[in-house]
Structure 1
Amino acid sequence: MKKGEEARGIITEYRFPDRGYILREDGKVLIKHAVPGREVLYRVTKARKGNAEGRVLETLAPGACERRESLCPAVGVCGGCLYQTLPYAEELKLKEQLLQRLLGEAIGEDFLWEGLTASPCENAYRMKMEYSFGDAYRDGPLTLGMHKRGSHYDIVETDRCELVHEDLNLALRETLRFFRERKVPFYHKLRHEGYLRFLLARRGTHRKELLLDLVTSSQLPTEEERELLRAWRELICSLPFEASLKGLLHTVTDSVADAVKNERTEVLFGEAQFEEELSGLRFAITPFSFFQNNADGAELLYEKVGQYVGETGGKVVFDLYSGTGTIAQLVAKHAERTVGVELIEEAVIAARENAARNGVQNCRFIAGDVLKVLDEIEEKPDIIILDPPREGVNPKALRKLIRYGVPRIIYVSCKPSSLVTDLEILREGGYHTTRAAGVDMFPRTPGVEAVLLLERREPASDEMTI
């Protein structure tokens, strides 16, 4: 096939996490964002050495399992959900098959597969949304929502998203209406001109508290900006949210990167954080804190981690990539002490505050790159927990921690395809997967969490290169 060529086909084989294959007589075409059984019209975007990649232009016919009517008007266009039309039982079946096959191929030996645990909530589970201001097409009217699938610029309005509580949809709708009426310009990513950038929205699942943060550039005159923010604050404070409005913030960033960077934040109303409860502990959450998006699912995930950690009495546990210290504090209940390492300093500060809030005194949190910090820590671990970002663990860091020779490593992965690469290095260092499970933290999307217990055997070779 040639680049630019269009064809139709049925997604008949599937690969993790969001890619499918259309099988053809002349080879395979890798198609992103496809659901098994669908007949699609696609365009080839890459073609080389007999292989091709393409993207879906149109769904011509649904798959046999697609029996659910989606209430979201942006389904198929928004870059978020993929499985809106699948009944949840079918989605779970598909995810478990994919995850089990992926791990089976990567591990290459017998291990105990303990199944995929369903999320307690299929809808309205997300605690955080990062909405972008922009337009749906070039020079179109202001909109606020998610990026269009496959686009860095076009924004899809998502004011009826099924993944969030109606409080967040209400905040989005009213904020968009407010700024549309006043014809306030959004920040143009190519010209670096404009004012409105993002709306960060966080809502606690258990304590039901709401935090909103308007992120802008500094490109409005001071008096005009002050009056605008005052009027927006009055609007938001008058809305009939089910949750308690805990704080209303304004963050300024002039970074050219299309990402939220906290250069300066002021409190317009209330406080700059709220609290959430998880597994009997309390955690303070700011707009920029890392915290699991699915609180009920997170409790199931951490329960599984605790099972794999096992007996910790008198032991030192390293929690690497510890975020705001959730796992470290849960493990600390029975361990001699835990050491958390996290690159983002703000998250480390929050972890220390959370530990103090919960009366956990045998936790120590260190800010820094795991690769470097491992050379500086005097303690030696008895157990290591890894919960890295999506790209996985730095290979050099993996080889360093292998040299500790701990009997057990627990690996928590939000992107199992990255996990596969890390497993090769761990296996080379003598660690073999004995138990594995999945937890569906992200219903309606291709995302799924994997938890693995790796136990040490004699390495295949004595040489490990750092």
Structure 2
Amino acid sequence: MRGLGSWLPRAALLSRSRPPPWSSPRAWLGSACPEEAPAPPAAAEEWAPEPVSWPERLADLVTPLWRLDYEQQLRVKEEALRGLLDKLEGRLRALGSADAEAGALCSRLRPFLPSPVIDGYRNKSNFAIRQGPDGRPRTVGYVLGSRREPRPVCVQAGHLRHIPEGHQRVARCYEAFLRQSPLDPYGDGQGGGHWHELTVRSARRGHTMAIVACHPQQLSPDELRAHREQLREFFTRGPGEVCGLTSLYFQEHRPCSPGQVCYQLLAGEPHIFEDLPGLKIRISPGAFFQINPDAVEVLYRVVGELSGLDPDTLLLDLSQGTGATSLSLAQHTAQVLSTGLVGQAVEDARWTAAFNGITNWEFHADHVDNVVPQLIKSQEAGQSLVAMVDPSRTGLSNQVVRALRNCRAIRRLVFVSCYPGGKAKRNFLELCCPPDPDKDLLGEPFVLRQAVPVDMFPHTLHYELVLLFTSI
């Protein structure tokens, strides 16, 4: 495989004279979607000359591989993944692992599984409000800035390849609404203003949900109610009607009960629904669901294959989100116990289980340290225990890693990581290193058997990595 420098010069983010954007905390501020924030590849400063336009600068930052054909994109990601596995292998050797001979981890890497959809695949987009490059103060898009800019500017996102036209249409309409509203946008760091970011969610069956955030500041309840009504009228009977929204939510920035966000349904249905093979999934405005629904089907198929489930298996799901992964696997196993859900996702998962007639799925709000011993005691004779984790970009907590490592009944562990180059590296080492009493890692180490990358995020440097670990 050729190195990055041999064919990537066209895919530049920056000139050699300019520091990379990820070196500045204000370089990428526009969307709240962390999977878009680019992780710098090796020798990033050697990429092409500085783009000449704001749209190109934004595209190169948010979707840094967009100039390459899709086959080349996958080669970039595979080369980066092999480098990561080589580094992890070296760390394991330094820790004294018996399963870290040279090339061992890369030999267990399977080929990249491509996304079935390359463009417009996102089912969730976040848009900010700032002054545009042309000086217009109420521009909706992604905020772009660097050390060279006196202040960040907001660039419209209509040219970004991964955002569907339906999301872009809602953003354009929201911008039109802002320019007729007497309220100012919420000021960055200034504490004033009201209208905040826009979130657009969608599903393949044609559902579209818009969530408009607003800071009430000193508005009275009656004043805030009047502006909510203007927003509702704009999107249901005014110019925004062209968006065909299934759901319109108003998200008020004010104190709410612990773990809750203040969502108020202004128009339409309270939920949107996604269809997977044999499963209808309910999605609330604040619940997580994977960004690329077509690639999700590929991901769930891989997880099912690596889990090795059968009618005598007890599946422990420590994943976040709406519980869709374990619910899709419930028909292949004896019982599913889920502990990783929070907030609206709990009710979404319960609805999904009931609607689809799934009776062997249960949610436990207890901490994993308390759940695992209960599972071991309740296991029926001959029943195997498989654990599945799909943490956020922050990885698994130390408590969860210790619980998994010290539970001798877990013979198989499936780890799904959306950011293997981040905190997941620490999780990998702690799962596979020799016993370490100082860290309370007393059980025998897990062994990596297979690593399957799934491209969930075309045009970006990110992907999902499914790791199969087994006990020795």
Q: Deviations over 1:52-107 (max 9, x none)?
A: x9996995279xxxxxxx9x962323652111211111111111121133124324
* Mapping for residues 16-95 of structure 1, pairs under 5 Å: 40-43=16-19, 59-60=48-49, 74-77=55-58, 79-95=61-77
Which residue matches 1:254? 254
Which residue matches 1:316? 314
Which residue matches 2:30? none
Residue 253 of structure 1 and its aligned partner are, at CA, apart by 0.8
Taking a change above 3 Å as real, the CA distance of residues 123 and 371 of structure 1, as seen in their structure-2 partners, is: farther
User: Relative to total residues, which structure has the larger helix share, 1 or 2?
Assistant: 2
Where 2:470 maps in the other structure, the secondary structure is strand
Which residue matches 2:427? 422
* Mapping for residues 300-379 of structure 1, pairs under 5 Å: 300-342=298-340, 344-367=342-365, 369-370=367-368, 373-374=371-372, 379=378
Residue 334 of structure 1 and its aligned partner are, at CA, apart by 1.7
Alpha-carbon distance in structure 1 between the residues aligned to 2:136 and 2:301: 48
Q: Is the CA contact 1:208–1:244 (under 8 Å) kept in the aligned structure 2? A: no
Taking a change above 3 Å as real, the CA distance of residues 82 and 149 of structure 1, as seen in their structure-2 partners, is: farther
Residue 162 of structure 1 and its aligned partner are, at CA, apart by 2.3
Residue 175 of structure 1 and its aligned partner are, at CA, apart by 0.9
Residue 280 of structure 1 and its aligned partner are, at CA, apart by 1.9
Residue 235 of structure 1 and its aligned partner are, at CA, apart by 2.9
Q: Is the CA contact 1:161–1:169 (under 8 Å) kept in the aligned structure 2? A: no
Q: Is the CA contact 1:348–1:366 (under 8 Å) kept in the aligned structure 2? A: no
Q: Deviations over 1:146-186 (max 9, x none)?
A: 23266996433223432122111111001101211335311
Which residue matches 1:145? 141
Where 2:57 maps in the other structure, the secondary structure is coil
Which residue matches 2:296? 298
Q: Does 1:442 align with 2:457?
A: yes
Alpha-carbon distance in structure 1 between the residues aligned to 2:428 and 2:202: 35
Alpha-carbon distance in structure 1 between the residues aligned to 2:365 and 2:190: 36
Where 2:183 maps in the other structure, the secondary structure is coil
Alpha-carbon distance in structure 1 between the residues aligned to 2:140 and 2:304: 40
Runs (5+) with no aligned partner, structure 1: 1-9, 15-19, 23-33, 47-52, 63-69, 256-260, 458-466
Where 2:270 maps in the other structure, the secondary structure is coil
Which residue matches 2:212? 214
Taking a change above 3 Å as real, the CA distance of residues 178 and 95 of structure 1, as seen in their structure-2 partners, is: same
Alpha-carbon distance in structure 1 between the residues aligned to 2:222 and 2:294: 44
Alpha-carbon distance in structure 1 between the residues aligned to 2:125 and 2:285: 10
Where 2:71 maps in the other structure, the secondary structure is helix
- Give 1:386's match in structure 2, choosing from 381, 389, 392: 389
- Equivalent residues, number: 412
Taking a change above 3 Å as real, the CA distance of residues 414 and 371 of structure 1, as seen in their structure-2 partners, is: farther
Taking a change above 3 Å as real, the CA distance of residues 374 and 179 of structure 1, as seen in their structure-2 partners, is: same
* Mapping for residues 164-313 of structure 1, pairs under 5 Å: 164-205=163-204, 207-219=205-217, 220-237=219-236, 245-254=245-254, 263-313=261-311
Letter in 2 for 1:85: R
- Give 1:399's match in structure 2, choosing from 387, 398, 402: 402
Alpha-carbon distance in structure 2 between the residues aligned to 1:316 and 1:454: 16
Taking a change above 3 Å as real, the CA distance of residues 262 and 129 of structure 1, as seen in their structure-2 partners, is: farther
Q: Deviations over 1:290-343 (max 9, x none)?
A: 101100000001100111011322111111124211111122112110111125
Q: Percent identity?
A: 24
Alpha-carbon distance in structure 2 between the residues aligned to 1:208 and 1:242: 14
Alpha-carbon distance in structure 2 between the residues aligned to 1:158 and 1:434: 41
Which residue matches 1:17? none
Letter in 2 for 1:340: S
Taking a change above 3 Å as real, the CA distance of residues 345 and 376 of structure 1, as seen in their structure-2 partners, is: farther
Which residue matches 1:119? 115
Residue 209 of structure 1 and its aligned partner are, at CA, apart by 0.6
User: Relative to total residues, which structure has the larger strand share, 1 or 2?
Assistant: 1
Taking a change above 3 Å as real, the CA distance of residues 185 and 12 of structure 1, as seen in their structure-2 partners, is: same
Residue 265 of structure 1 and its aligned partner are, at CA, apart by 2.4
Residue 386 of structure 1 and its aligned partner are, at CA, apart by 1.2
Where 2:326 maps in the other structure, the secondary structure is helix
Residue 128 of structure 1 and its aligned partner are, at CA, apart by 0.6
Alpha-carbon distance in structure 2 between the residues aligned to 1:149 and 1:320: 38
**RMSD, aligned α-carbons:** 3.5
Please, which moves more after superposition, 398-407 or 131-140? 131-140
TM-score using structure 1 length: 0.78
Q: Deviations over 1:235-275 (max 9, x none)?
A: 323568898521111110137xxxxx954322211122111
Letter in 1 for 2:57: G
Q: Is the CA contact 1:438–1:450 (under 8 Å) kept in the aligned structure 2? A: yes
TM-score using structure 2 length: 0.77
Q: Does 1:99 align with 2:81?
A: yes
Residue 228 of structure 1 and its aligned partner are, at CA, apart by 3.3
